[in-house]
Amino acid sequence: MFDIPKENTNMNTNEPLASKLRPENIEEFIGQKHLVGENMPLRVAINNKHLFSMLFWGPPGVGKTTLAKIYAKSLDANLYELSAVSAGKDDIRKIVADSEADVTRPKVLFLDEIHRFNKAQQDFLLPYVESGQITLIGATTENPSFEVISPLLSRCKVFILNELSESEMAEIVKRALSKVSEEKIYIDENSMSWIVNYSNGDARQAISIIDTTFRFYKKITVESLTNTAQSKFLRYDKKDEEHYNTISAFIKSMRAGDADAAVYYLARMVEAGEDPLFIARRMVIFSSEDAGLAQPTALVVANEVFKACETIGYPECAINLAHGATYLALCKKDRSAYDALRAAQEDVKNYGNLPVPLKIRNAVTNLMKDLGYGKDYQKYDSESYLPDKLKGKKYLKRISK
């Protein structure tokens, strides 16, 4: 049994619990010890008031917004908060042109979900970050290497935030309970474990379920928590990093020949309502990338699964997906065609468009014939047709398992 003392507070009782709990300094912050622990980079930057643009990359509810606010406060900055879901170029212009801002204080823009800014919007933001007119703190749940344009990414320090541990979640739960009631509140170990498991490393989820449950029932028990939630929360957002983590696990399970794991990750996606065509497309790619020359029929099967999903849809097409996933997991693997393509692409990047040998050029005019285009060409000869600089290069190396 946990005995949670009531904290003295004069805060507005209508203020959301998450707002009441938000730490105002780095000492109150829970989690991300690799960033904010003693002598860790973000703590050093905050304590020494270092001014630079940065990106926070991590799952939901792990402190990205809170750290941005703490950092801006440490700089005594003019803090502007935007969500890339609804913000646009005009919002950036207003920040730059804000005449009421104290010119002696830096302008810090916290841009939540920066991955939702398209390339044009990011291009528009870039010069203001380059010139220092705006210090950017971008928050994203998705890999910034894929979602943030290279020039902007190169001007930002990327900090990776981790999912909160069970012990860190328990600390947050205790802090939330200390503010949720006017009196002391008690919570047993089973209820504590329920909240920690439910929230799955997401502090916002834990705070939300505590806040809502207490409003409904005025007590925190496994029964009251279950009644509030109705069902176990499964975090899966089709725009979130978990989307990419799960499809990655699905593909890697098929690659390893682990049909059971492949079906499990498929089931997670199906239950979360993932687009079946997205899953099927990944299977079509996998069939050529991983099964390849070892089992050419894999591409046929994967394409038929895709067609079945187009024709049938949920819920029955989940059966077709399971059929295809188990087939691809169990079939022989050979990545030689994929590896050959990537090796050839690397040479194209390194050497550019090397001259095509005259022998295999298409002679469409008499002048071209006179220059030797197509001369001595014979079908099925054994000579290498690669450009002279790459003669003898072998891209296709058959390896199967």
Higher pLDDT, 57 or 3: 57
Q: What is the mean pLDDT of the chain?
A: 88
Q: What confidence score (pLDDT) does residue 116 get?
A: 84
Q: What is the mean pLDDT of residues 366-378?
A: 85
**Residue at 85: amino acid letter:** V
Rounded distance, CA 45 to CA 33, Å? 14
Q: What is the mean pLDDT of residues 368-391?
A: 86
Contact predicate 62/202, CB 8 Å: yes
Rounded distance, CA 379 to CA 381, Å? 6
**Residue at 357: amino acid letter:** P
Rounded distance, CA 212 to CA 16, Å? 10
Alpha carbon 293 to its chain's center: 32
Structural domains in the chain, sorted by start? 31-160 (3.40.50.300), 166-229 (1.10.8.60), 241-330 (1.20.272.10), 355-390 (no CATH)
- Structure-token match 């040998």, residue found: 357
Rounded distance, CA 92 to CA 164, Å? 32
**Residue at 353: amino acid letter:** N
Contact predicate 115/147, CB 8 Å: yes
Q: What confidence score (pLDDT) does residue 10 get?
A: 43
Q: What confidence score (pLDDT) does residue 11 get?
A: 44
Alpha carbon 22 to its chain's center: 24
Query: Which range among 72-76, 99-103, 376-380, 387-391 has the greatest average pLDDT?
Result: 72-76
Residue 236 — very low, low, confident or very high, per pLDDT cuts 50/70/90? low
DSSP conformation letters of 326-386: HHHHHS--B-HHHHHHHHHHHHHHHH-SPPPPGGGS---SHHHHHTTTTTT--TT--S--S
Residue 186 — very low, low, confident or very high, per pLDDT cuts 50/70/90? confident
Q: What confidence score (pLDDT) does residue 4 get?
A: 61
Q: What confidence score (pLDDT) does residue 178 get?
A: 85
Query: Which range among 317-326, 334-343, 349-358 has the greatest average pLDDT?
Result: 317-326
Q: What confidence score (pLDDT) does residue 242 get?
A: 65
Q: What confidence score (pLDDT) does residue 384 get?
A: 87
Instruction: Name residues whose C-beta falls within 8 Å of residue 214's C-beta, 6 or more positions apart in sequence.
Output: 180, 181, 220
Name the strand (E) or helix (H) holding 8.
Answer: none
Least confident of 3-7, 8-12, 199-203, 354-358: 8-12
Alpha-carbon distances, residue 3 vs 17, 183, 189, 195, 206 (angstroms): 19, 11, 11, 16, 18
Q: What confidence score (pLDDT) does residue 334 get?
A: 95
Q: Kindly give the interhelix angle for 259-271 and 276-286, rounded to the nearest 10 degrees.
A: 150
pLDDT in tens, 141-179: 888 888 899 999 999 999 999 989 999 999 999 988 888
Rounded distance, CA 2 to CA 25, Å? 26
Rounded distance, CA 309 to CA 276, Å? 6
Q: Which residues of 287-323 are buried (b: 16+ CB within 10 A; e: fewer)?
A: bbbbbbbbbeebbebbeebbebbeeeeeeebbebbbe
Least confident of 35-44, 151-160, 287-296, 368-377: 368-377
Rounded distance, CA 227 to CA 207, Å? 16
Cα torsion 200, 213, 171, 76 to 10°: value is 100
Q: What confidence score (pLDDT) does residue 14 get?
A: 62
Q: What confidence score (pLDDT) does residue 158 get?
A: 95
Residue 290 — very low, low, confident or very high, per pLDDT cuts 50/70/90? very high
Q: What confidence score (pLDDT) does residue 328 get?
A: 98
Name the token pair of 257. Answer: 């020949």
Name the strand (E) or helix (H) holding 269.
Answer: helix 259-271
Rounded distance, CA 53 to CA 108, Å? 9
pLDDT in tens, 17-68: 888 889 989 999 999 999 999 999 999 999 999 999 999 999 888 999 999 9
Rounded distance, CA 78 to CA 203, Å? 27
pLDDT over 60 (residue 8): no
Q: What confidence score (pLDDT) does residue 281 get?
A: 92
> Does 41 sit behind a cis peptide bond, omega within 30 degrees of 0 on the bond before it?
no
Q: What confidence score (pLDDT) does residue 314 get?
A: 86
Q: What confidence score (pLDDT) does residue 231 get?
A: 47
Least confident of 7-16, 311-320, 341-350: 7-16
Rounded distance, CA 315 to CA 332, Å? 29
Reported pTM: 0.59
Contact predicate 115/145, CB 8 Å: no
